[in-house]
Amino acid sequence: MIRSLLLALAVVVAALPALAVQPDEMLDDPALERRAREISQDVRCLVCQNQSIDESNADLARDLRVLVRERVKQGDTNQEVRDYLVARYGDYVLLKPPFGLSTLLLWASPALLLLVGALAVFLWFRGRGRASATQAGGAEAALSAEERRRLDRLLAGEDGPEDDGSGRDPGDRRA
């Protein structure tokens, strides 16, 4: 029972991308329809988040699918259809834009962001190390010569606090 439910669910999930293409959009010739679907899978829906027009249910995606099928029906090659769409909408219409001068930033941005992030982390750790070293060194530099001599004597155990026999803490200055 569970196996048949899982199988039915898998069939429905596998068919979801095909639901975007409506029956009235499909071409009668299976070879032309296959070409149109192939082109549609590489064309971005301009109003969706990184979806092809083949997967999208948006009205604009439907219009683009119809346009692709019209161009295929007129005898355009796959490349001619893509070129027509790029001329009309720009390189953004392609899910995989070509590498070129106009798309250099698009292709290089992931690497640039990674480098900027690594540099920021490096500088942050470097600054933290300097700050802790400055704090440690700054405490010594802030002592006067007399305070430094007294600190050295205290650390050597030569100049301990005087005990007046009262049982009070020698650092307590209350009367």
Specify whether 32 is located in the same domain as 80: yes
84 in Cβ contact with 72 (< 8 Å)? no
Section 67-95 average pLDDT: 90
Closest by CA position to 90, among listed 30, 46, 58: 46
3-class DSSP state of 44: strand
Inside any domain, residue 6: no
Specify whether 79 is located in the same domain as 122: no
37 in Cβ contact with 78 (< 8 Å)? no
**Residue 168 to residues 84, 154, 175: CA-CA distances in angstroms?**
94, 20, 10
pTM of the model: 0.50
pLDDT per position as a tens digit, 148-164 = 899 889 988 875 555 55
CATH number for the domain harbouring residue 21: 1.10.8.640
Specify whether 93 is located in the same domain as 121: no
Specify whether 48 is located in the same domain as 81: yes
Domain span at 143: 103-156
How many domains does the chain fold into? 2
